[in-house]
Structure 1
Amino acid sequence: MTSKRNLFNWTIVTVAIILAPMILGVIFYSQLPMRIPNHFGVNNQPDRFINKNLALFGIPIIATLLQLVLVGAYQADAKRRSRPLRMSWVLFLITPIISTVIYLITLSFGLGNALDVRRIVTFVIAIFFIAMGNYFPTLTSEDHIAFKSKIGRKLGYAFVLAGLALLGSLFFNYVGSLLVMGIFIVYILGLVIHR
């Protein structure tokens, strides 16, 4: 992402990805109850509900605003760089993918379909961890003051291993995923404190 034109194109594409699921919301609007689940417990059962209109239209609008803030922050930061941030495409895809997954899970539960939310969310997080882990070793102090080659490599290994471990945890109950995330968080905190 080196030019304003590329940044503009990425913005249009990612905002379109965020807003596209609303078409399904409009199609199934009359079949949905007035309150739709938007949060799930570890037992995969909904434990919080929101208004149908907020779920169908609020989630994509809030995600769009978040994406525009992210693009604006990236553009402001890009002015001080001599080269683009190498993992920018990963950063730009986080909001569209997560908001789309949340939207489709919410819509599906609203229509009465039961999904294994923990496995879906864990899979998405694992893929992002692996993608980010592949880019951390390429970051330099120009990308962020905290990135030195040793820390970048350690973060890269940690994210890739955590992603792979999360994928492995899909074959077990939720305790496995929580354990992997707990170990990962402790390791990252240790890196930050002792760098």
Structure 2
Amino acid sequence: MKNKFKLRKDSIISIIASILIVVIFNLLFYDKMPAELPTHWNFQGQADDYSSKFHAMVVIQGFLVLMNAFLCFMLDSDPKNKKQFNLVMTISKLSMPAIMLLIYIITVMAGFGREVKVSTILPIFIGLLFIAIGNYLPKIKRNYTMGIKLPWTLNSDENWRRTHRLGGICFVIIGLCIILSVFLKSEIVFLVPLFLGAIIPAVYSYYLYTKGI
């Protein structure tokens, strides 16, 4: 029997939301934007790269719409996600529209000549995202599209469960450190936990594998 693919309701909402964000922001602000807009900021929050407003307002966001549709397709077509915790799936699918909305707000404010504290806004947003993911990471069941996908976690439900329990703690700590870096104005506080948070669960997963888990 052939497997029939069908987008879930939250996927349809996510894709429509991402398209509406592009349409609404361009209808409201495209003609009011200058010819060039900032598209990249350094750690000090200073714009260090610019693009045409068409590239900033249409091309980049259009690419994110396609990425969002692809993400939803991958999540819904994964056979191991049929019994996945629904809130985890919903958070995953709504993260891209949230990112798009934030990017548009920053871009439009910069276009109007407003002071945009990117070095504050983005780390806080990213930190909160890590904390949210960390809280629900232990609830993710073994699958091919979400979570800490390593040869050892994919090989064992118990390895997956233990690794994601530790990974959830690491993600929450990363999120808190990223937010803390805003106030300490330290790149080290931002980057070091990010690096360690990626390495520690992977090493722990392999350790469990060597123990037969």
The residue aligned with 1:50 is 51
Q: Structure 1: which 4+ aligned runs deviate by more than 6 Å? A: none
The residue aligned with 2:111 is 110
Q: Are the aligned partners of 1:21 and 1:104 in contact in 2 as well (CA < 8 Å)?
A: no
After TM superposition, the score normalised by the length of structure 1 is 0.84
Question: Aligned with 1:20: secondary structure?
Answer: helix
Give 1:73 deviation, angstroms.
0.8
Structure 2 CA distance for aligned equivalents of residues 81 and 26 of structure 1: 37
AA matched with 2:56: A
Unaligned runs of at least 5 residues, structure 2: 154-158, 206-213
Give 1:149 deviation, angstroms.
2.4
Structure 2 CA distance for aligned equivalents of residues 82 and 10 of structure 1: 14
Identity %: 23
1:184 aligns with 2:185: no
Q: Are the aligned partners of 2:38 and 2:110 in contact in 1 as well (CA < 8 Å)?
A: yes
AA matched with 1:185: F
Q: CA 1:121 to 1:127, structure 2 compared with 1: closer, same or farther past 3 Å?
A: same
Question: Aligned with 1:47: secondary structure?
Answer: strand
CA RMSD of aligned residues (A): 2.4
Aligned length: 188
The residue aligned with 2:11 is 11
Q: Are the aligned partners of 2:39 and 2:107 in contact in 1 as well (CA < 8 Å)?
A: yes
Unaligned runs of at least 5 residues, structure 1: none
After TM superposition, the score normalised by the length of structure 2 is 0.77
**After superposition, where does 1:21-170 map in structure 2 within 5 Å?**
21-22=21-22, 23-77=24-78, 79-81=79-81, 83-86=83-86, 87-141=88-142, 146=153, 148-170=160-182
